[in-house]
Structure 1
Amino acid sequence: MSAANPRMAGLGAADIERLHAAARAIRDRQPALADRLLGEVLAAHPAHAEALRLRAIGQLHGRRPDLAIATLGDALRTHPGDALLHCELGNACNATGDQVAAIAAWREAVRLDPAQGVAWFNLGRAHQLRGETPEAIDALTQARALAPEVLPAAILLGDALVHSGDFDAAQAQYRDALRLHPGCGDAWRGLANIKTRPLTDADADALRAQLARPGIADADAIAMGHALGKLEEDRGQPARAFAAFVAANARQRRLAPYSLGALEGYVAQALAATERLPPPQDPTLGREAIFIVGMPRSGSTLFEQVLAAHPQVEGGSELQDLGIVVQQESRRRNQTYPHWIAEATAADWHRLGADYLARTARWRGRRPRFTDKLPENWKHVGILRAMLPGATVIETRRDPLETAWSCFKQQFYVQPHFACDFADLAGYLRACERAMAAWRARDPARIRLHAYEDLLADPAQGIRRLLDDCGLDFDAACLAPHAGTRSVRTASAAQVREPLRGDTARTATYGPLLDPLRTALGLPPA
């Protein structure tokens, strides 16, 4: 900042230096010093836009977003046309979890000043998180045009283009990210996740060179290890692929060990706590929702794509709302889940179900029903007969070896993760199947099991059964799920845009290499 900076208009040299010093203090995590300096400026200039903006930034850094929103509100009453203030307001609203208000603020920022690259990026990221893929692509394209050397914008735009099915454009973004940073794990992850587009021999050389580079960051090495494994599998080199996947997962597990015991304890508690639940106030509450749950990599994206081809169903993909509602109730009660389940009344469950439906209302804007395809929602299925008794639950299952190996090959964002170790994988799969079997026995009319292999073996029959279980009339569009144009925001985004095919098994080519995984799963050796 300088005296010529228009944001310093109206300030003398001493106050300009105070703002400089306050900005440095915020950067250096010296909140008391920043508060004192900004207080001195605001004492003489109580409505100064830049001083108020810096105060809000300091409040946001101090994890006080509500105060930041109030400060920015005061500033905007005097300076409604200040794009930077609107941009910071978006950041503050986002910190409170109010994405709708954040998007509105960032939208106003770029309307006032289309050169606001940060606001465009934040806007694109917010739309991406909400599953609003066309809007995300538009905003991120603007961000890239304004700052073509900014790596995160290239990655996020590539991800959004994958979700939209524009794989050529997505590859171009990931390749451009690698031009900027050849060891960018996220770019290699993006390329490898376009599973219908194999990587090249040149990519193999580049990956090996980057993995051999000293000082490589763990996150980049893990992502590139998974990409190399995928590449070697596609080239028919199972031993090399196996070694790459094992090395990447071992590195991840060292960084974030998974506790299988904690999961098993949770399942035991959840099964006991949900054995007796109060009859629902409204047995039809949640009839709009179709939950698709089970193990990751079990075909759930394909089942959702089939349902989303139906004119009555909107594909919501992997929604976080059910878990958020449960977490918020746990905070309200100051008690961890599932320990408070026994205390919840029918009215409590109705309130929580209504909250979930309100949070997901945007997925029913065009069609009356919607899918919620977050696999790990299986952990909450036990409460649905009280919370959303009208909802349908589809559990997807695939051959256990294919499921487990596919999980092991896939890099997951949430860590620690069960998929980094064969014993953890097998234990997680058993816990999931045990819990779902118990909950299905308690609510057989609403919780239905569907096998991935059955759908592939006889698509017409499998699809008719799926629609029947969801209370949907048959529609021929569901027989061609690959023709859908919806955004697909999972690792299977490329695969489900291909026609149905039955040759999806991959474990046979690995032979005895997978015997340790077979042993963990209780299966005979190859």
Structure 2
Amino acid sequence: MDDGKNTMPTPDLLREAEALSRDGNSQKAEQLCDIVLEREPENIGAFRVLALAAHEDKRYIIAEAFLKRVCRLQPDDVRAVSDLAKFLENRGRYRESIAYLEPIARRLPENPDIQLLFGNMLGIVGRVDDALGAYDRCLEAEPNDPSALIGRGHMLRIVGRTDEALASYRHCTSVNPEFGAAWWYLASLPKHEMTEEEIVVMQDQLTADLLSDDAKIGLHFALARTYEQRKDFQTAWTHYEQGNKKKRELVNYDPVKTETDQKKIRDTFTSDKLQDASNREHFAETPIFILGMPRSGSTLIEQILSSHSSVEGGGELPYIMLIASRIVEKNEGSLHYTENINELGQEELDEFGQAYLQLASTHNPESKAFFTDKMPANFPHAGLIHMLFPQAKIIDARRHPVATCLANYRQLYAQGKNQSYDLTELGEYYLEYIKMMDHWDTVMPGVVLRVDYEDMVRDIDSQVARILDHCGLPFEQSCLDFHKSERSVNTASSEQVREPIYDSALDFWRNYELYLNELSEILSPVMKW
């Protein structure tokens, strides 16, 4: 490189290299890093940029190698360990992420950044008490840290310590009134009513100068839920509309890509493709996949199953989608796992299946014979699941179409589920879901058990019997007493599943029926109610 770069100061070279890498020009970024490493063979900054460049190009093995090299050179560098931990988190390797974080978190108990990240990771794998300890250490150093206060509130909430969760959220709103997410979590706590003073503060914050879009979104959703609890559905709807509109402007969602990808899956996973799956060897553990649309009763089904002595509740696990990504990575230039699936022999399928089980084992600490994975977005991948695990049990959690879509529209998700912020797109997504589930029923009949939420509410005994029979599990009374379980529940339905079933919520969607005409029209082909 003879354009004067050889004479540039090292810090300037690294800044330019990082900018190039973030802009997608990894080749030039790597050339600048080479100049730096010729001067300083162990320059930490150069290795960081090389890791970033490799990650941007989806060369994940190389990115990981550079990140680990930085950690070996600087084991007490908070940024170095954090970068590696976040990389491993994004790859679904939570146990390894924690293994890198734990030593530095022990050595630096007063460092709020490392304690916050450590707490977040521990929470993901369900180590609630340890996560609370990490959040408390973070708050000792930074008493008003909003992320730690919210993280602590989440941990308390998922184990049913609602009053303490309320106090943590309320502390956050009192010292960080501009933090919209905290208001949403506070308002969305069941049986909690916002005070008049809190409503005034939220409304004032919405008119504040320089308020971020994320803060506005959180405040609109919080006000919507507040007025909803007061049965002022017109005002609530106004805030839901504004919050969803702003959120949709910020998230990436392509309904055409959704339709195209799901057609690829249906074209690839034919009955001929799947007919030999049952002849493959079975793994010792049996995953139970509960899939479908979010907010359709999957948490209730998981709570029932995890109340059985042979079943561990795993929660929403991202690992099937991670395995799908690894199949894509088999061939450079592939865009979807369907392009490579026909190349997989039994040995490779077993390897991918074992990789999934290894990742999921973090959430099955007692190695129970059955464990649940209730990631709703697995529904397009039921064919892949059946190929990897012929013995797996698959349950389709279904609910009234309009009720389902409205429940999603009323929910501000922490991440993902980007189809939820526009009613038209939600309705179209629901139709794609039904089309996909109809396909699975056709090409692998009897593999998927459909469970309607409304049937669960009206006749829980017979539905529990159906679910247990489908999973090959003997009846246990604890499955009917699911609301007495003390397990952690890390979803938006965490409070509801700790109570007996009532039918009062079945027609809740009719409170907004006036605003749902277009959605109802879209869903009319699949309406049976």
Q: Give TM-score, length-normalised by structure 1.
A: 0.85
Match of 1:272 in 2: 267
Q: Secondary structure at the match of 2:100?
A: helix
CA contact (8 A) 1:378 1:432 kept: yes
CA distance in 1 between partners of 2:79 and 2:455 (Å): 51
Q: Residues 22 and 33 of structure 1 are in contact (CA less than 8 Å); yes or no, is this contact kept in structure 2?
A: no
The equivalent residue for 1:310 is 308
Is this contact kept in 2: 1:321–1:359, CA < 8 A? Answer: yes
C-alpha deviation, 1:200, in angstroms: 2.9
Query: 1:452 — aligned with what?
Result: 453
Residue 466 of structure 1, CA deviation: 1.2
The superposition leaves residues 430-459 of structure 1 with CA deviations (integer Å, 9 ceiling, x where unpaired) of: 111111122023323321000111111111
Q: Which residue of 2 aligns with 1:507?
A: 509
Higher deviation after alignment, 164-173 or 128-137: 128-137
Alpha-carbon distance in structure 2 between the residues aligned to 1:34 and 1:329: 31
Greater shift, 503-512 or 61-70, is seen at: 61-70
Match of 1:522 in 2: 524
2:101 & 2:226 partners in 1: Cα distance? 40
> Equivalent residue for 1:89?
81
When structure 1 is superposed on structure 2, of 458-467 and 204-213 the one drifting more is 204-213
Is contact 1:158-1:173 (8 Å) kept?
yes
Give the match's secondary structure for 1:318: coil
Tell me the number of residue pairs that the alignment of Structure 1 and Structure 2 aligns: 490
SS at match of 1:338: helix
Partners of 1:381 and 1:439 within 8 A in 2: yes
Distance in 2 between the 1:323 and 1:33 partners?
35
Contact 2:327 2:340 in 1 (8 A): no
Aligned to 1:355: 355
The 3 A distance-change label for structure 1 pair 416 and 459 is: closer
Deviations, residues 151-173 of structure 1 (Å, cap 9, x unaligned): 22112221222222211111111
Structure 1 residues 291, 33: CA separation in 2 closer, same or farther (over 3 Å shift)?
A: closer
Deviations, residues 280-327 of structure 1 (Å, cap 9, x unaligned): 352534751000000111111111111111111111010000100110
Which residue number corresponds to residue 244 of structure 2? Answer: 249
Residue 187 (structure 1) aligned with residue 182 (structure 2): yes
Q: Which residue of 1 aligns with 2:389?
A: 388
**1:346 corresponds to:** 346
Residues 428-439 of structure 1 correspond to what in structure 2 (within 5 A)?
428-439=429-440
Tell me the residue number matched to 1:15: none
The aligned amino acid for 2:266 is: L
Q: 2:71 corresponds to which residue?
A: 72
- The verdict on how the C-alpha distance between 1:110 and 1:356 changes in structure 2, with shifts beyond 3 A counting, is closer
Q: Which residue of 2 aligns with 1:294?
A: 292
Tell me the amino acid that sits aligned with residue 158 of structure 2. H
Compared with structure 1, are the counterparts of its residues 35 and 143 closer, same or farther at alpha carbon in structure 2 (3 Å cutoff)? farther
Residue type at the aligned position of 2:186: L
Residue 34 of structure 1 contacts residue 58 of structure 1 at CA under 8 Å; is this kept in 2?
Answer: yes
- Whether 1:154 and 2:156 are equivalent positions in the alignment is no
Evaluate the alpha carbon distance shift between residue 287 and residue 448 of structure 1 in structure 2; reply closer, same or farther with a 3 A threshold.
Answer: farther
Q: Which runs of 5+ in 2 are unaligned?
A: 1-8, 20-28, 56-62
- What is the CA–CA distance in structure 2 between the aligned matches of 1:479 and 1:168, rounded to whole Å? 27
CA distance, structure 2, for counterparts of residue 170 and residue 259 of structure 1: 36
Q: Distance in 2 between matches of 1:501 and 1:131?
A: 28
Mapped contact 1:66–1:92 kept (Cα < 8 A): no
Aligned equivalents of 1:257, 1:473: Cα separation in 2? 44
* Partners of 1:23 and 1:478 in 2: CA distance: 61
Does the 8 A contact of 1:256 with 1:416 survive in 2? Answer: no
Q: What secondary structure does 2:221 align onto?
A: helix
C-alpha spacing 1:23/1:134, structure 2 compared with 1 (3 Å): farther
Q: What is the distance in 1 between the residues matched to 2:179 and 2:458? A: 40
Letter in 1 for 2:80: E
Instruction: Say if 2:292 and 2:376, in contact at 8 Å, map to a contact too.
Output: yes
Which one is further off, 30-39 or 426-435?
A: 30-39
Displacement of 1:124 in angstroms is 0.7
Larger mean Cα displacement after TM superposition, 374-383 or 406-415: 406-415
Residue range with higher mean Cα deviation, 514-523 or 184-193: 514-523
Q: CA 1:213–1:316 in structure 2 vs 1: closer, same or farther (change >3 Å)? A: same
Aligned partner letter, 2:87 = A
Distance 1:247 1:348 in 2: 48
- Pair 1:102–1:355, CA change in 2 (3 A): closer
Q: Distance in 2 between matches of 1:146 and 1:432?
A: 47
- The answer (yes or no) to whether the contact 2:47–2:67 under 8 Å persists in 1 is yes
CA distance in 2, matches of 1:170, 1:239: 29
The 3-state SS of whatever aligns with 2:362 is: helix
Supply the distance in 1 between the matched residues of 2:263 and 2:34 (Cα, whole angstroms). 50
8 Å contact kept, 1:90–1:104: no
Percent sequence identity over aligned pairs: 25
CA radius of gyration, larger in: 1
8 A Cα contact 1:291 1:371, kept in partner: yes
Shift of 1:26: 6.7
1:123-159 residue CA offsets vs partner (Å, 9 max, x unmatched): 1111122333222122112111222132221122212
Aligned equivalent of 2:467: 466
